[in-house]
Structure 1
């Protein structure tokens, strides 16, 4: 049963990652890393296929080997967070929403920026 749950979560992460390619503010890389995590526990063949992917494979292999995030991905992630925060300010969202965003995105940005390149 656990294998099927992990397999379903892996496919869900792939779907969210694909949506993130076209939807600003939704991170693709994080979802693909999570998909690799779930596939590693449910389907060695799908995990291997992700690791062999021409676009995502190198990023996943670096993540699995050293916890590394490419500098370009870091810049996009932190830049997207800043853009969403600026949009929230421009739209005049309530202060508590801005506060939650600052705390959440600040923690996410700190984590991303402390990973090796």
Structure 2
């Protein structure tokens, strides 16, 4: 019961962050929505079903769920916006070890995104 509650809270927070990412250019949407889908699948069937059929997110979530791939344009956007977000964070943070950690996380994220298969963008 506690595990489901924790996953539900994490899913809701992730969904809020993902929705904010739709409107805020430096906040990535896709990772937060994927995390929300993961959490909802294990905590709330109703929220998971709602998220998987939502017009804003259904295409990307279903592509990931069924094909383990994302659209080329979405992949590029995620890479560019994540890079910009990390670059701003690295520029603002005064501690060298934090800058190195952020840079390492960026490299890992970009490597992961690069390894994800692409789907052709649909017009």
Band of TM-score, shorter chain: 0.7 to 0.9
Relative to the length of structure 2, the TM-score reads 0.79
| Larger helix proportion of the pair | 1
Question: What is the CA-CA distance between 1:10 and the residue it aligns to?
Answer: 1.2
* C-alpha separation in 2, matches of 1:28 and 1:112: 14
Q: Is residue 2:4 matched to residue 1:18?
A: no
- Quick check: 97-106 or 62-71, which moved more? 97-106
Hey, what does 2:121 align to over in structure 1? none
| Cα distance change on mapping 1:89 and 1:14 into 2, 3 Å | closer
Conserved 8 A contact 2:51-2:58: yes
Hey, what does 1:106 align to over in structure 2? 107
Relative to the length of structure 1, the TM-score reads 0.83
Query: Runs of 5+ in structure 2 lacking a partner?
Result: 119-123
Question: What is the CA-CA distance between 1:94 and the residue it aligns to?
Answer: 5.3
Hey, what does 2:30 align to over in structure 1? 29
1:26-85: per-residue Cα shift (whole Å, max 9, x none)? Answer: 211111111111111111121111111112001101111122122112111211233235
Q: Is residue 2:69 matched to residue 1:68?
A: yes
Hey, what does 1:40 align to over in structure 2? 41
Tell me the number of residue pairs that the alignment of Structure 1 and Structure 2 aligns. Answer: 117
* C-alpha separation in 2, matches of 1:31 and 1:91: 23
